[in-house]
Amino acid sequence: MSVHTGITRSSVQRNHALIAPESHVMATFPDWHQAEVITLISAHLGAHFTQYMVQFLPQGGHGPAAGRNTERFLLVLEGSVRIEAEEGQHDLAVDGYAYFPPGHHHRIIASGRARILCFEKHFEPIVGLETSAHGLRKIVSNMNDVPGEAFLGDPDAILKHLLPDEPGWDMALNTFQFAPGGTLPQVEVHVMEHGLYVLEGQGVYRLGDNWYPVQKGDTIWMAPYLPQWFVASGKHPTRYIYYKDMNRDPALRIHP
Ligand code: UGY
Ligand code: MN
């Protein structure tokens, strides 16, 4: 076995984190059977959502619905999974995704080796409105079937909204695809938080006053107000998926 040098691209800071695959450490959770879970982003880091990856073992396995009041988005990264929901079942292959509103019963089943990426958030209702009145609904789709738009008119930065952009919804999952040399059009500073996973390609992410080389398989946490910017490098497009909280007044969230 070779001797480890102690070097990694991973870096965990007060308001951001880069977690490269070389730093992943698996855990087993009681309700996930024949599966290894890597919690990438959580409240322990300071985040207000959870991002984790589940690797089902070659013999297949299964996992439970999200916790109470928790909404879940899942994306298939490798292999395929079957979703057993209240109203029937769905088979999802790579790039397939699903969203479950809080309290929506389902089970995730893999019949062989598979890898999924999950984002979960405690749902925040609009003050005075019942959860059922927010228009949340189960979504099952595939990223390749979602139309993209040139972000602020830039054809080198294609944005896709994977979930409905409606006022009742409090989280967004989007993808960005950048042509080589494509950039975010500004150094963004915003109250919304991000959890990001690089699906393909490479580039340089500015996080605060740090510039990090990033590539496929990397996870990034960006706290509220973190200055952020990205440039894609390499010879092929770079694509990432990211979580963002939305549609809630920050003042009301702190002083309800
Ligand atoms: O939606 C966003 O805030 C997005 N433009 N941010 C990002 O990709 N870091
Ligand atoms: Mn942003």
> What pLDDT, on the 0 to 100 scale, is given for residue 86?
81
Task: Provide residues with CB under 6 Å of ligand 1.
Answer: 176, 184, 188, 194, 228, 242, 244
CB 136 within 8 Å of CB 101: yes
CB 216 within 8 Å of CB 190: no
pTM for the structure as a whole: 0.97
State in Å: Cα 13 to ligand 2 middle. 18
> What pLDDT, on the 0 to 100 scale, is given for residue 73?
98
> What pLDDT, on the 0 to 100 scale, is given for residue 2?
84
The chain-wide mean pLDDT, for the chain, equals: 96
For 31-80, what is each residue's pLDDT tens digit? Answer: 999 999 999 999 999 999 999 999 999 999 999 999 999 999 999 999 99
- Atom from ligand 1 closest to the CA of residue 151: 5
For 157-190, what is each residue's pLDDT tens digit? Answer: 999 999 999 999 999 999 999 999 999 999 999 9
Distance set, CA 200 to CA 25, 48, 235 (Å): 21, 26, 12
Which residue's CA lies nearest to atom 9 of ligand 1?
228
> What pLDDT, on the 0 to 100 scale, is given for residue 255?
58
Backbone angles phi, psi at 228, to 5 degrees: -140, 145
State in Å: Cα 243 to ligand 1 middle. 9
- Atom from ligand 1 closest to the CA of residue 172: 1
For ligand 1, mutation pick of 163, 187, 189, 244 (most atoms within 8 Å of CB): 244
State in Å: Cα 158 to ligand 2 middle. 14
> What pLDDT, on the 0 to 100 scale, is given for residue 254?
67
- The span from the CA of 160 to the CA of 199, in Å, is 14
Contacts for 65-68: CB closer than 8 Å, 24+ residues apart: 65/100, 65/104, 65/105, 65/106, 65/107, 66/100, 66/102, 66/120, 67/120, 68/102, 68/103
Which ligand sits nearest to residue 161's alpha carbon?
Answer: 1
Task: Quote the tokens at residue 51.
Answer: 């991002």
